[in-house]
Amino acid sequence: MRSSHSLLLSAGLLMVLTGCKSAPKTETASGPAPLTMDTAKGPRIYVTDEVSGELTVIDATTMTQLEQLKIGTRPRGIHAALDGKTVYIALSGTPIAGPGVDESTLPPSDHSKDGIGVFDVAQNKLVKIIPGGSDPENFDLSKDGKKIYVSNEDESAVSIIDIDSGKVEATMKMGAQPEGVKTSPDGTFVYVTSEETGTISVLDPVKKKITGTFKVGHRPRNVAFTADGKTAYINAENDASVVVVDVASHKMVKTIEMGTPGQVKPMFVLLSPDASKLYVSTGRGGKVAAIDTATNTVAGDVAVGKRPWGIALSPDGKMLYSANGPSNDVSAVDLATLTVKAKAPSGGSPWGLVVLP
């Protein structure tokens, strides 16, 4: 990358590093001091807040908000490194354009704010920002944890980032409005969703090229592979359905209907550890649904909040957490009973989340 871009990234990093605010540590009149980053011992939920530009940290055991950190502009995609010591966050200087918004009326993009934030878990701070291509939205890691495959929404492209060098190795054009990125279980290919064209692009990370494209329905956003790599589940937001894909042929083999289009809008798909259930956030539907993968039917659902988007499982697979955008909170769902057990406040418009032990 050009040196001027690196200087801009460094300047942006200095700005966000000064914006940390921690939970109070003083005794209260009603009892002991609240939990803090130092005293909380359970798993932690890290949540990207797209509108407020924050990373919210929540104690998963008590659903107590521990901290909110200014992290950069428009944080969305979030994934942890293989060792759990680092969290990567997609940051973008492109203004938010909601449904029906005329993008010509929005301010120009500030690409100096684009990048992948590198958050050190032990230090509890953003340590650097590396280039992530133009308008990075979501991404996944290579199986060795050395590369990041990122969707560049405004350029209709997918980029390969080398983490150690902090360089964009290659950028490949694909369908418009790419979002979801998922590395196959064996690491030999990557599925990237295109919302506008309703397709999946198949990226060969070694050859650094798109080797195939196939249709999956209207507005696909996310992908979940079974552990054996034979089957993929992909949401079709505007069809109110999830499609089942035979990975060997890269073709749809079944459609799972979830409700009335427009009322139910599947957004994020996530398999249980044993792949017996597929959990789906339903956006405008306000729920998380559980699909029985043996019958490919909806087994139940639970109302979690307004417009749930990102979802993640607890380390033991017994709880599910949902990022509820307009609700500005995170719900904790007991999967045995499909009930909400607790909620924790987040920052402005939570988008994605990861859970670390």
Please list the pLDDT of the chain residue by residue as tens digits (357 residues).
Answer: 333 344 344 444 444 444 444 444 434 455 656 778 777 788 999 999 999 999 999 999 999 999 999 999 999 999 999 999 999 999 999 998 766 666 677 789 999 999 999 999 999 999 999 999 999 999 999 999 999 999 999 999 999 999 999 999 999 999 999 999 999 999 999 999 999 999 999 999 999 999 999 999 999 999 999 999 999 999 999 999 999 999 999 999 999 999 999 999 999 999 999 999 999 999 999 999 999 999 999 999 999 999 999 999 999 999 999 999 999 999 999 999 999 999 999 999 999 999 999
Distance CA 68, CA 237 (A): 31
Task: Give the residue among 122, 63, 35 at the shortest CA–CA distance from 87.
Answer: 122
pTM of the model: 0.90
227: number of Cβ within 10 Å: 11
The reported pLDDT for the residue numbered 41 is: 81
- Token digits for 214? 């196939």
The predicted structure's pLDDT at residue 295: 97
CA dihedral 186, 297, 286, 277 (to 10 degrees): -40
* Closest alpha carbon to 322 in 282, 272, 292: 282
The whole-angstrom separation of Cα 76 and Cα 22 is: 21
Contact 231, 251 (CB under 8 A): no
- Maximum alpha-carbon separation in the chain: 64
- In the beta sheet, which residues pair with residue 252? 245
Sequence-distant contacts of 51-55: CB under 8 A, at least 24 apart: 51/96, 51/347, 51/348, 51/349, 52/347, 52/348, 52/349, 53/16, 53/347, 53/348, 54/347, 54/348, 55/87, 55/89, 55/119, 55/126
Contact of 316 with 307, CB cutoff 8 Å: no
Question: With left for phi above 0 and alpha for psi between -120 and 50, is residue 200 left, alpha or beta?
Answer: beta
DSSP state of 210: E
Give the model's pLDDT for residue 97: 77
Q: Are 245 and 216 in contact (CB under 8 A)?
A: yes
Let me know if 234 is exposed, middle or buried by CB neighbors in 10 A (0-12, 13-18, 19+): buried
